[in-house]
Amino acid sequence: MKELEGKVAAVTGAASGLGRAMALAFADEGMHVALGDVSDLDEVLTAVKRRGVNALAMRLDVSKALEVEAFAQKIDAELGGAHLVCNNAGVSPLGAAWETSVGDWQWILGVNLWGVINGVRSFVPRLIARNEGHVINTASVAGLINPPGSGAYNVTKHAVVALSETLHHDLRERNSAVGVSVLCPAYVPTGIADSERNRPSGLQATVKSRETLAREQMLRKAVESGRLSADDVARAVVQAVKDERFYILTHPRIKGAIRARMEDILEERTPRNPMAL
């Protein structure tokens, strides 16, 4: 999508971090913006409107298909429908696969994977109908490599990469003009290390092992010291949409670990630990 001005962007997870930065970057391009999040959106709504574009905000849980569909309907009614859709909301509680409770598996899959599925199911038919638009699904480098200690998170992010690649092929097969990108950042300073703030009420916290507690500290440090800001990533997303680029790999230094994984697969070697490369 080369021309963004005057078009409409929909962003989930827009209250904080990458979603907030993308919403502001789209508004800076002259796009009208629809903001969705489980958290309060007042601050970002004001910041978007200050840029002189139209905006709406809706509290929603992306894991619930009906709420995502209601978001799409509200955008149709109030902004004339979305052109650019960012399925971005995510959570990242850590833990080994066997230590993660069934409830936590369902929570993480619900937000990170079903959130994207629900966004695709509600918005893509609308984009196909107008034969114009672009979908950006936020995965992670954890969708291309598998760092230890975050089994559920890695599963969801690999699934988002798989879903995005297949969506791209299916749209090309139908000669649709709708584009797709998958965003795969490494560590960026945002609220992601504090995902527990979004734990659904009534879902008991998992008892964490010593290893998980240590890994949480490492994640927090890595996220806080991320060299690229959320604004840098948002600018890369805007450029990728204009260039109609599929993979958005914002941190080139991680490519060595991705290459190592691909080589291990092709050589049928036991996987190396990407964090030790």
Of residues 77-96, those binding ligand NAD (CB under 6 A):
88-92
- Which region, judged by CB under 6 A, interacts with ligand NAD, from 14-22, 49-57, 206-214, 261-269? 14-22
SS3 at position 86: strand
> Would you count residue 63 as binding ligand NAD (CB under 6 A)?
yes
The nearest distance, CB 194 to ligand NAD, in angstroms, is 7
> Would you count residue 62 as binding ligand NAD (CB under 6 A)?
yes
Tokens of 40: 């309060």
Q: What is the DSSP string of 240-262?
A: HHHHT-SEE---GGGHHHHHHHH
Contact 2, 242 (CB under 8 A): yes
Phi, psi of 246 (to 5 degrees): -80, -60
> Would you count residue 111 as binding ligand NAD (CB under 6 A)?
yes
> Would you count residue 104 as binding ligand NAD (CB under 6 A)?
no
Residue of 181, 190, 206, 212 interacting with ligand NAD (CB under 6 A) = 190
- Which region, judged by CB under 6 A, interacts with ligand NAD, from 74-82, 185-193, 203-211, 262-270? 185-193
User: Rounded to an integer, what distance in angstroms lies between the CA atom of residue 140 and that of residue 113?
Assistant: 12
Residue of 8, 9, 10, 15 interacting with ligand NAD (CB under 6 A) = 15
Q: Which C-beta is closer to ligand NAD: that of 100 or that of 112?
A: 112
Tokens of 121: 């199911």
Per DSSP, 37 falls in state E
Q: Count the Cβ atoms, other than its own, within 10 Å of residue 254.
A: 19
Q: Compute CA 44 distance to the chain's CA centroid, rounded to the nearest angstrom.
A: 17
> Would you count residue 229 as binding ligand NAD (CB under 6 A)?
no
Q: Which residues of the shown chain bind ligand NAD in the complex (CB under 6 A)?
A: 12-13, 15-19, 37-39, 60-63, 88-92, 111-112, 138, 140, 185, 187-188, 190-192, 198, 223, 226
